[in-house]
């Protein structure tokens, strides 16, 4: 199977993951406290927002598994790339159906994670002016700082 996840993730999309994953433009993780140091107030605030998103995602997974029993134990042999695509299509179909059901069941209010949908808009692969948090310099780390700045800007957070 392919080891490069970028071929499965559309352009300007990313996955929010826990700190066990790498910081890449396709994988955004919380800031880790440096050894013998502290996170900045801005980094802690960003991590709190990320934690809220994490909770919402866990609730979504729970709702999906509750509504679609087939997702509780999705048992597919992953021997080929095509097997992975079948799993992705199955899960995507369940998500689409779930969203249709939700739309019919209730009128949606403001979504606190709505800002994330278009956050990568404006991200320029060649930017050098994003970064500076604890000397971060990898492409993924600069992308995370870019997202943090966009969050603060849209939420009117001044730090």
Residue ranges of the domains in the chain?
9-155
Given a cut of 70, the residues of the chain with pLDDT beneath it are: 1-6, 76-78, 105-136
What lies within 8 Å, CB to CB, of 158 at 6+ separation is 152
State residue 37's pLDDT score.
Answer: 93
State residue 45's pLDDT score.
Answer: 94
State residue 130's pLDDT score.
Answer: 43
State residue 31's pLDDT score.
Answer: 93
Beta bridge partners of 27: 15, 24
Structure tokens at 130: 């994003």
Helix-strand-coil percent breakdown of the chain, rounded to 5?
A: 50, 5, 45
State residue 3's pLDDT score.
Answer: 57
Give dist(CA 158, CA 147) in Å, integer: 15
Prediction pTM value? 0.56
C-beta separation of 52 from 93 below 8 A: no
C-beta separation of 120 from 13 below 8 A: yes
State residue 156's pLDDT score.
Answer: 83
C-beta separation of 30 from 50 below 8 A: yes
State residue 42's pLDDT score.
Answer: 93
């Amino acid at each position: 199977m392919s080891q490069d996840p970028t071929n499965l993730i559309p352009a300007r999309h990313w996955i929010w993951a826990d700190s066990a994953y790498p910081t890449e433009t396709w994988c955004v993780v919380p800031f880790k406290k440096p050894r013998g140091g502290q996170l900045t107030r801005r980094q802690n605030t960003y991590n709190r927002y990320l934690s809220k998103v994490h909770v919402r995602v866990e609730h979504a997974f729970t709702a999906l598994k509750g509504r679609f029993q087939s997702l509780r134990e999705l048992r597919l042999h992953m021997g080929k790339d095509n097997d992975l695509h079948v799993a992705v299509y199955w899960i995507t179909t369940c998500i689409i159906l779930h969203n249709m059901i939700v739309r019919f069941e209730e009128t949606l209010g403001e979504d606190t994670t709505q800002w994330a949908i278009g956050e990568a808009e404006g991200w320029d692969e060649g930017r050098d002016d994003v970064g500076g948090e604890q000397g971060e310099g990898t492409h993924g780390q600069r992308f995370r700082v870019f997202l943090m700045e966009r969050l603060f800007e849209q939420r009117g957070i001044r730090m």
